[in-house]
Structure 1
Amino acid sequence: MRCVGTVVRGIRTPIIKENDDLATIVVDSLMNAKEAEGFEFNDKDIVAITEAVVGISEGNYVTVDDVAEDLTKKFPSKDIGVVNPILSRNRFSIILKGIARAMDKITLLSSFPADEVGNGILDEDTLEKSEYNLGSVISEVEYAETFGSWIHPFTGINMVDFYRELIESEDCEVEFVFSNDVKTILDYTKDVLTCDIHTRFKTTKLLESLGANVYGLHQVLTEPIDGSGCNPDYGLLGSNKATEEKLKLFPKTGDTLVREVQKRLIEKTGKQIEVMVYGDGAFKDPVGKIWELADPVVSPAHTDGLIGYPNEIKLKYVSDNKFADLKGDELKEAIKEEIRCKDENLTGQMITEGTTPRVLTDLIGSLCDLTSGSGDKGTPVIFIQGYFDNLADD
């Protein structure tokens, strides 16, 4: 009888640099791990590769000057509104530097009390005691008087101060406005760069309908600037700080990579192994209140076997209801038979209540992100076995 279900391994690889043959590195690292750890490959195993090394290997970088040049073309007035940027030094500071380098003035509209993914911009207890509410429009002066001393407990900085200093260092004027209604920006300018991630299409469509000249970050650097990198699907969304003058973009060759890795693994192992590229996991930290998904999607590329949703019954529900009078081996065998006979599509049935109705790649990507971490583990490849197994698989 099997005593272990899903197994997740972080696979160490060489340090990956621009122009490296990533498919070869991934496959060779898996084969080396197999020999060292003594595992075997099975059908429906999963290999996941972090988007960071995909972007690095394909050399998908842009500079601050590239960002500035693209925005100068889009906003010749040099006076724009920047709406709902993420409050992140890693994710947005270099983008903001490029915006400021291209413009004479920025009106930066931020949501409050936090950005789209939960990064705080003011103290919520102070907000509750103040004259302001979530429907208020708060000026820069009002923010400074009421909330300006707030320091984020994780980063130890005030992001308003940080962004102001960064913008002014590029000889650009800045005015901050705090509002949860994006239409507020139209009181200041009709030229708008929207920076939200998961509501980007709704925001740009709304502002366009009100007469704005609007672009989203997903529409910046969709084509190369003088040989630079680009991302035709996501533009600057999903980018990360590489240096003080350079951004690594979200990968654009993931589809080719996952199919090449799958092909080579089938040739070497004879098993149908699924492959995906993953970025941020789609989960929320319960303490910091930060939603991890700052990338536009969890998985920008994956093989066909990872399309879809889980189709699982809730063991607790079956045990407590249908088989409430059974115990021990008899209960286990009854549940196994229930699993074997389950419908191919359980959507909407009570027997699934309490399971997680999220797409497979979001669930698997979250598992991978938590395994690889964001620091110094050195395991940009994750190998998962038994994810699609259930209690009935002996």
Structure 2
Amino acid sequence: MAGVISRGIQGPIIREGDDIVDIVVNSVYASEKEDNYTLKDRDIIAVTESVVARAQGNYVTVDHVAQDIRAKFNEAKKVGLVFPILSRNRFSMCLKGIARAVEEVVILFSYPNDEVGNPLMARSAYVPHKYSEVTSYQEADFIATFGSPVHPFTGVNYLDFYREVIESEGAKATFLFSNDPRYITTACDNILCCDIHTRNETRDVLKAMGKTVYTLADILSAPVDGSGYHEKYGLLGSNKATEDKLKLFPRDCQPVVDGIQARIQAERGIRVEAMVYGDGAFKDPVGGIWELADPVVSPAYTEGLSGRPNELKIKFLADNDFSDLSGEELKEAIRKEIQTKDSDLVGSMSSEGTTPRQYTDLLGSLCDLTSGSGDKGTPFIVIQNYFTNYAE
């Protein structure tokens, strides 16, 4: 009777140099025995990106960040940051390194939310001014208009918090507010685009204005004095590890997922799929936060997880094509419809309301919600029956 089953699997505390493939496979085997289930063909094994990065030792220090900022901006004294997210975990250590490299940091905040939906302030403070003709502010004017902004969930005043981070490194903090990235050019010519998913668009707009522009993906895209790095994403997807160290997004993840698949196929004779996952890309309907501070949901996955679902909507069939049927006759008609469905249902009314997202994005949300981000201690996920439909 069971449909999709998602299991969080406990694992040991991962340290640098650990064999992550061996640990994942052994943890899953132990879970099978303990919880009385058996892996089958096309089951999915997912591994959270953080333990892969930890096993790789993909870390950098605040000094490494500062050194790369100096090199990229040719020892500039002032650097502007466009649209950083509001996060103590995700951005504060990046900011610390940037501030260590310069004499003044100018931050352009978007409002009322950052890129991933974190509210700079309570919506009640923003709504009365939503349609104002004034859309760009310096700090004093912003506070006079909206009041002192406090995050409604964490209770953090991010202006005070980011100012403290900057000034603790001996730099000056200047804050601007606008949803137009070009407003940063009123204050500086050396600019770091700190947005995640819109970074290339922001970079191109500012470069067209003749400014020196980089994105967070360019910082630590290569090693600095033997540090960790990520050639594609740089500081994007990084997390605070200690008061002086950041864990970067993992690199070279394909050998991990391929290794998990190959070992289980050799030992069990079944072909599972495997993926590395980060943030799940779901949106909280109450807080409005879009849970995707990582540059991608899945940096690596086996071939069987490519593509998107191609599914019929059972309730559409029941209410329309087979509205005159009931009981076993209705079940059999729907099963036959599923068995003979077209290979591409795009545009078909019978697939209306299904979710045509990438498998890895859908699975990433399921995995992220299953493992959580706190103290569950389940960095590995086993998903069963994901590719099984009503006709099977």
TM range (shorter): over 0.9
Per the alignment, residue 105 of structure 1 pairs with: 104
Per the alignment, residue 168 of structure 2 pairs with: 169
Q: Runs of 5+ in structure 2 lacking a partner? A: none
CA distance change for structure 1 residues 6 and 98 in 2, over 3 Å: closer, same or farther? same
CA distance change for structure 1 residues 325 and 132 in 2, over 3 Å: closer, same or farther? closer
Instruction: Name the CA distance, whole Å, in 2 between partners of 1:374 and 1:88.
Output: 15
Structure 2 residue 357 is the aligned partner of structure 1 residue 335: no
Per the alignment, residue 64 of structure 1 pairs with: 62
Alignment check: 8 A CA contact 1:110 1:176 kept: yes
Per the alignment, residue 139 of structure 1 pairs with: 138
The 5-angstrom pairing of residues 234-273 of structure 1 reads: 234-273=233-272
Taking only aligned residues, the RMSD between alpha carbons, in angstroms, comes to 1.2
1:35 positional shift: 1.4
Alignment check: 8 A CA contact 1:58 1:253 kept: no
Per the alignment, residue 83 of structure 1 pairs with: 82
1:34 positional shift: 1.1
Alignment check: 8 A CA contact 2:121 2:152 kept: no
Alignment check: 8 A CA contact 2:80 2:108 kept: yes
Q: Deviations over 1:33-55 (max 9, x none)?
A: 11112212211110000001011
1:131 positional shift: 8.5
Report the AA paired with residue 60 of structure 1: N
Question: What's the secondary structure of 1:91's corresponding residue?
Answer: coil
Per the alignment, residue 284 of structure 2 pairs with: 285
Instruction: Name the CA distance, whole Å, in 2 between partners of 1:143 and 1:158.
Output: 14
Per the alignment, residue 390 of structure 2 pairs with: 391
Alignment check: 8 A CA contact 2:119 2:152 kept: no
Q: Percent identity?
A: 55
Per the alignment, residue 215 of structure 2 pairs with: 216
Per the alignment, residue 74 of structure 1 pairs with: 72
CA distance change for structure 1 residues 205 and 130 in 2, over 3 Å: closer, same or farther? closer
Question: What's the secondary structure of 1:345's corresponding residue?
Answer: coil
Q: Deviations over 1:268-311 (max 9, x none)?
A: 21111000000000111111111101100000000111000000
Instruction: Name the CA distance, whole Å, in 2 between partners of 1:4 and 1:171.
Output: 59
Q: TM-score, normalised by structure 1?
A: 0.97
Per the alignment, residue 33 of structure 2 pairs with: 35
1:106 positional shift: 1.1
Instruction: Name the CA distance, whole Å, in 1 between partners of 2:131 and 2:156.
Output: 23
Report the AA paired with residue 55 of structure 2: S
Instruction: Name the CA distance, whole Å, in 2 between partners of 1:112 and 1:134.
Output: 15
Instruction: Name the CA distance, whole Å, in 1 between partners of 2:198 and 2:295.
Output: 10
1:130 positional shift: 3.9
Report the AA paired with residue 66 of structure 1: H
Alignment check: 8 A CA contact 1:182 1:203 kept: yes
1:5 positional shift: 1.1
Report the AA paired with residue 29 of structure 2: M
Per the alignment, residue 11 of structure 2 pairs with: 13
